[in-house]
Structure 1
C-alpha cells in the first residue's frame, strides 16, 4: 500500500510539490491540520475526487470500455491493440489498465479519508458540512463498490495511513459490502433534501443518487459470489425510495437521453447521477475531456473543411444477439434489416459509419459490423468536436445510474421475492418508453401496397396527418420497384406529436407547377412515375402519359414516363404493443429481465457485472461463443477478433487480477484465483 499512499498524497488538490516531496525536510507541504479550515477548502478537496472519477483510468475510458467490451452485447473488433487494452481476455496482472482502476480508486479513498478526518475542524455552516460529508461518505463507499465488483476481496482503508503501513490483508467481500452500505446509509441521512431538482444538475451526489446506487449494491450482493438472496428485499426498499420520491421519471424519447449528454443538457429526472466532463454547469466539477463516444461509438474521421465531422475510433461492435433481441416488424419487407418498433435498436445498433472526403454516411449491412451508437459525438458542440480538423476535448458525461435501471432492478427484485405479478408494472414502463408510447400512440409500421415500377433511385417517403408529427421512413428499391419501407422514426415523441389515427404515406416527389426540376429527378403525377430527362421549370400543365406517349415537354423541362407510382399505408400503435406477455413463470420473467436490461442498458458498462451476478458468466459466454461462431461472427464479414476474445474466457475472468505492483508492495495481499 506504500505507493498508493504516496500517490494519494500527490493527488490532494495540488497541495504538494513533486520537486520537494522526497526531501527530508518539507517546506511547502500543507498538512491536513493547516488546510481544512474553510468551506471552500472542503469543497476543493471534494471536487478533486469528483474530477478524478473522470480520469482515463476510470470513467473517461477504462470503466466503460476496457474490461466490459467482451460479452454477448458488445465485442472488440481489434486484434493486437485490443489485447493491449484488455479487450479480448488476454491480459494479465501486469497490464497497466488492470492497475489503473485499483490505483485511482485508492487515491480517491485516501483523499476522502483525509477529508472526513478533518471535516469537523472547518468553520462552516452545519448544513453545508453535512452535504459535503454525505457526498464524501457516499463516494468512499462507491470507490469500494468499484473495487470489490472488479477485484473481489480488497483491503479496507478507513483512515489515513502512515508511510510505513504497507502490509494489509484483504477484507472478505461480505465485509466490504457491509462497509459500503454503512457509508452510503449515513450519506443518505446527511443528504436529506439535497436533490438534483433543486440544484438543476446531477453530476454531484444527491439523496436519490445514494438510494439508487444502494439498490445496485444490494442487487450485486444478492448475486454471485455472495448469493445473499435476503438482499433482494433491500433492493425493493431502496428502489421504492427513488420511485416514490416523485423526483425521477423516464424521458419520453430514449434517444434524447443520450443526445442531452452530448449537448451539455441536464436531464435530472432520467439521469439520477452522471459524472461530469467538459461543459459541466458553472460551479460543478468537471474534467477537460474523455473517450466516451470514441472507442464505443460510431466511426468517424475528422475533416478539416467539415465542421460537422468528429473523431471516433469505434473499436467495438454490437453483437448479432443484441440486435436480434430487439423486436422486428415481421411484416416489414425492408432489406437488409426489417424495421423495429423498438426505437432503442436503431439508436444503439447504428447501421452506418462516417467516412470519405467529403465525409458522408456509409451503410453497414452486416449485422456483426454495426456501430455502437448510444453515445454519439456528432451531437457535441461544434467548437468541441472539430477545431480545424483537430480533435477537441469531448464533453459527454457518463450516466452512472438512470431511472430505467431503477425500474428494472425493482422488477427483478419483485419477481424474486413475490413472483412476476407486480413486477410487470416496472418492466412495462421501460418497454413503453422504448416503443415510443409512454405518452401516446405512434406509427407502428408502414406497409407497401403497390411496389410500382421504373424506379432508378430510392424515392423520398413522407408521412403526414393522423394528428401527429415526426414519423420518418426511407424506401428500399430493387428491380425498379419499391420493395420495402424502413420506418426510421415512429414520431417526434413530444407533447402534441402523437398520432390519433393512421397518417397518410406518400412515396416520391409530387409534380408541382412552377417548380424547377433537375435532370434525372423522378416525380409522381397521379399514378404515373416520370424521370426528368431535361432540366427546366414546370408550368401548370402536368405531363400526361397515354399509350405510345413517352415524354412531355413543359417550358423547357422534359418528363419521360418511367413507370407506375408505388403506394403504402401506415398503422399506428394501440398503446399495448410494448407490454411483456402475461403469464410468465418466475423463471421466464427473470430471463425476460435479462434481455430487457441488455436492450435498455447496453454499452453502459453493466452487462458483464450482470452476467457475473447471475452466476454463470463463463458458461453463458461459452454458449454464446458457440452460437456466434455458428452464426457468422468468425467470417471475414463478421467479427473474428471479437469471437476469438470470447473463446479466451475462462473461470479466472470473473474477477480482475490484483495488480502486480500492489502484490509486490503489500505482502499480505493474496492474488485472485487463476492469476
Structure 2
C-alpha cells in the first residue's frame, strides 16, 4: 500500500574520493565511484532519504512529539519521562533527542548532496532525471528548513565532505533561508507537471508540495527572528499557486482526514504531502512502525481476546484553552459538557479512554485530562493493530502540510498586506468545514422540551428524517429526568447526507408487541414510560397506566409504570453560522487567525513554531501557564500539574534547541545558541 519504501536503505552518505591502494577499485561494497550508475540506483538513493524522514529521530517520533507537544494547546502528563524526552523543557545540549534531530537531518543532507553531485552520471530519460533531481533539491531544502527552524544558524553544506572536513562555521539563518528558497524554486521548475493527482498518492514530493512548503518557509521567514516582512508577499504568491491549481480542496469531513491516514487511504486533495510509513501492506505485520497515535493518541492497551484493541500511551493531554476555543451550543443543557457546534472539538479533545481487561470505554469529562485525539490507532487495519495480544507495527502516515494550512497562511498574509477584507473567504471556508457545513446543513442542536420522569438508565436517542442522515446523540439523565442531549455527531458529511429540514428526535424505545424484554428495560407507549419488572415476551396487549403510579401488566413480560417520556426538538444550521465575526480590525483578525490555526492544526507539530514566529513565545507561554494554574490545571485529581510544570519551565532560550554537545566538540567553529 505504501508506494515508496520498496528498497533497502544503503548508507552512502559522507563518502569521499580517496587515494586508491594499488589503484584497485573496490568491488564488494558501494562508494560514490561505483554507485549512481543507473536510474534505479539514483531512485534507490532518493528513496532511502524518504525512508529516513520517518525514523524515530525525525517524523516517526521526535518532530511530532518530543519538542512540539508542550504549548498552549497540548501538555505532557509525564514526570521524569517527560524530562528525559524533552517534553517539559528540562533538556540540555547533551540530551539524545536534541542530538539525533541534528544528526539525522544532516545524514539526509549528506546523502542528497552525494546524489545531486552524481545526478548526471547514468544515461537515462531526462524527464525522469529531472523528477529525481527536483525531489532531491526540495528534500535538501526541507531538511535545512527543519534544522534552521529548530537550531537557528547552522552549517550550510552543499557538497559531499571529505573525512577531515569537520570545522565548518554556522551560516546565518537569513542565508540558510536563501539557500532553502533557491533549492525549492529550482525544484518547482523541475517538478512542473508532477502532481499527486497523476500519481494517485501523495508520499512523494510534487509541484504542490513544493509550492505549499515554500509558503510555509516564507511565513516563518517573515516572522521572528528574521522579521523579513517582505516575505508575506511571497506567502501570498505561493499559496495562490496552490489554490489556483485546482488540484486541492478541503475534505468535507474533518475527521475523515485522520481516519484516512490511519487506514492508509490517500486523500491527495486535502493532504498535499504526507510522509509514508514503513509498510502497512496486507499480510505484513513485522515492518517497523512509528509512534504516531501512540504518545499523541487516545489511551488504550492491547487485550489478547479483543481484536479491536490497540496500544496507545497517551503521554500528552489537550489543554482547557484548546477545548474552550471551540464554540459550544448555548442552548444545550447536557452536563458536565455542552455539545460543540464545531466537529473538530470532540475529535481533537477525546472525552474518553479505553481501560481495563476486558477493555472498557471510560468517560474522561475532565477537560485538562482529555487525550489528544486527532490520530486514532483504533482505525488502523486490524492486522497491524492487534496481533495475538502483542502490539502491532502501527503505520499512520504523517501529514506534513495540508490544504487547510495553505488557506490559513493565505488569509494571514492577505490580512498583513491588505487587511482582512479578502482574507475572510479563506478562514470562513476552513471554519465551515470545521462546523460540518461546507456543503450543506447538519443538526446544530437538540433541545429537551420536556425532561420527563422515571428514568433509571439513559434512554436511546434516535434522530431521523429531515432529508439527512448520521446525526446521533446521547441522553444525560439526572434525578430520573433527561436534562440534556449531548450531540455526538451532527450528521454524515457526504453528498446526499445533509439535512434540508429539522429531523425528528425520539427519546426512548417504543413498545413493540412480540418483543422479548429483560428486567430493567425501559420503554414508552401512549405517552407513558414503563420499566420491565418481569422478563418475558410481550403480547399484543399494550401496557397501559391503569391508575396513577400503579402497575400495567400483560401476559409474559410485566411492565410497571415509571413516569413520563422526555421529548426533544432538533434544529439545523442555516449555512453561515460558522463564519467569523465580520468587520474585525487588522489586529483582531490576526488574533482570530492564531486561534483558528490552533483549532484546525492542533497536534500537527506547528503550534510551537507559530508561537515563535509571532514573536513572543516566552511571554505567551508564561501568560498561558498563569491562566492554566488559575483554571484548574494544578489540581491533581482533575487537572494536569505535570504539564503545568512543563509550561512554567519555558524560558527565553527555548525559542531554539541547543546545538548538540557532541557536534560542538567535533566542530570547534560552532557557537552555542544563547542561554545554553
Residue correspondence of structure 1 range 67-86 to structure 2 within 5 A? 67-86=67-86
Question: Which whole-Å CA distance do the structure 1 matches of 2:564 and 2:280 have between them?
Answer: 55
Q: How does 1:647-658 map to 2 (within 5 A)?
A: 647-658=648-659
Call closer, same or farther: CA 1:12–1:111 in 2, change over 3 Å.
Answer: farther
Q: 1:313 to 1:12 in 2, by over 3 A?
A: closer
SS of residue paired to 2:529:
strand
Query: Within 1, Cα distance between the matches of 2:280 and 2:671?
Result: 41
SS of equivalent residue, structure 1 residue 121: coil
Mean Cα deviation higher: 652-661 or 506-515? 506-515
In structure 2, what is the equivalent of residue 13 of structure 1? 10
Is the partner of 1:668 in helix, strand or coil?
coil
Name the CA distance, whole Å, in 1 between partners of 2:524 and 2:457: 13
TM-score, with structure 1 as normaliser = 0.96
> Is the counterpart of residue 672 in structure 1 residue 669 in structure 2?
no
Tell me the CA shift for residue 31 of structure 1: 1.9
Counterpart secondary structure, 1:595 = helix
Shift of 1:236: 0.3
Q: Distance in 2 between matches of 1:535 and 1:659?
A: 71
Q: Would you say the 8 A contact 1:298–1:373 is kept in 2?
A: yes
Deviations 1:325-381 (A, max 9, x none): 000111111011100010000000010000011111100111100010000000001
Inter-partner Cα distance in structure 2 for 1:299 and 1:138: 37
Is 1:298–1:350's contact at 8 Å kept on the other side of the alignment? yes
Alignment of 1:191-210 (within 5 A): 191-210=191-210
The answer for the alignment partner of 1:326 in structure 2 is 326
- Do the aligned partners of 1:12 and 1:111 also contact (CA within 8 Å) in 2? no
Any gaps of 5 or more consecutive residues in structure 1? 1-10
Residue 210 (structure 2) pairs with residue 230 (structure 1): no
Say if 2:386 is the partner of 1:389: no
SS in 2 for 1:583: coil
Give the conservation status (yes or no) of the 8 Å contact 2:653–2:675.
yes
CA deviation vs aligned residue, 1:176-209 (integer Å, no higher than 9, x gap) = 0000000000000000110000100001100000
Q: Distance in 2 between matches of 1:293 and 1:591?
A: 30
- State the secondary structure of the residue aligned to 2:584: coil
The answer to whether the 8 A contact 1:17-1:29 is kept is no
1:83-122 to 2 correspondence within 5 Å? Answer: 83-122=83-122
CA–CA distance in structure 2, aligned partners of residues 67 and 16 of structure 1? 27
How far has the Cα of 1:306 moved from its partner? Answer: 0.5
**What corresponds to 1:630 in structure 2?**
630
- CA deviations over 1:466-489 (Å, ceiling 9, x no partner): 010000000000000000100010
Contact 1:203 1:275 in 2 (8 A): yes
Residue of structure 2 in register with 1:174 after alignment:
174
Q: Deviations over 1:118-170 (max 9, x none)?
A: 01011211110000000000000000000000000000000000000010000
Counterpart of 2:450 in structure 1 is: 450
Q: Who is 2:510 aligned against?
A: 510
- Residue 297 of structure 2 aligns with which residue? 297
1:76-130 CA deviation, whole Å, 9 max, x = no partner? 0000010000000000000000011100000000000000000101121111000
Q: Which residue of 2 aligns with 1:535?
A: 535
Q: 1:359 aligns to what?
A: 359
Q: Quick check: 2:76–2:315 contact (8 Å CA) kept in 1?
A: yes
Is 1:566 paired with 2:563?
no
Q: 1:280 Cα deviation (Å)?
A: 5.9
Contact preservation (8 Å) 2:13, 2:111: no
> Judging changes above 3 Å, is the alpha-carbon distance between structure 1 residues 61 and 322 closer, same or farther for their aligned structure 2 residues?
same
CA contact (8 A) 2:14 2:161 kept: no
Write the distance in 1 (CA, Å) between the matches of 2:513 and 2:9.
Answer: 72
Q: Conserved in 1, the CA contact under 8 Å of 2:436 and 2:442?
A: yes
Which residue does 2:310 correspond to in 1?
A: 310
Contact 1:543 1:551 in 2 (8 A): no
Distance in 2 of aligned mates of 1:424 and 1:123? 51
Cα distance, 1:288 vs. partner? Answer: 2.9
Question: What is the CA distance between 1:516 and its match in structure 2?
Answer: 1.2
CA 635–199 in structure 1, closer or farther in 2 if over 3 Å, else same: same
For 2:149 and 2:564, the matched residues in 1 are separated by 62
CA spacing shift, 1:520–1:281, aligned 2, 3 Å: closer
Task: Provide the rounded CA distance (Å) in 2 between the counterparts of 1:36 and 1:103.
Answer: 24
Write out the 4+ residue segments of structure 1 that deviate beyond 6 Å after TM superposition. Answer: 23-27
Distance in 1, matches of 2:434 and 2:652, equals: 35
Distance 2:450 2:89 in 1: 52
Q: Which residue of 1 aligns with 2:662?
A: 661
1:227-279 deviations in Å (ceiling 9; x for gaps): 00000000000000000000000000000000000001000000000000144
- Spell out the pairing of 1:143-162 with structure 2 (5 A cutoff): 143-162=143-162
Question: What is the aligned partner in structure 1 of residue 647 from structure 2?
Answer: 646
- In 1: Cα distance, 2:364 partner to 2:421 partner: 41
Distance in 2 separating the partners of 1:504 and 1:548: 29
- Inter-partner Cα distance in structure 1 for 2:549 and 2:476: 28
Take 2:179 and 2:12, find their aligned partners in 1: how far apart are those partners? 29
Asked whether the 8 Å contact 2:549–2:562 carries over to 1, the reply is no
- Classify 1:46/1:16 alpha carbon distance in 2 versus 1 (closer, same or farther; 3 Å): closer
TM-score when scaled to structure 2?
0.96
Preserved contact between residue 134 and residue 188 of structure 1 (Cα < 8 Å): yes
| 2:248 alignment counterpart | 248
Q: How many residues align?
A: 659
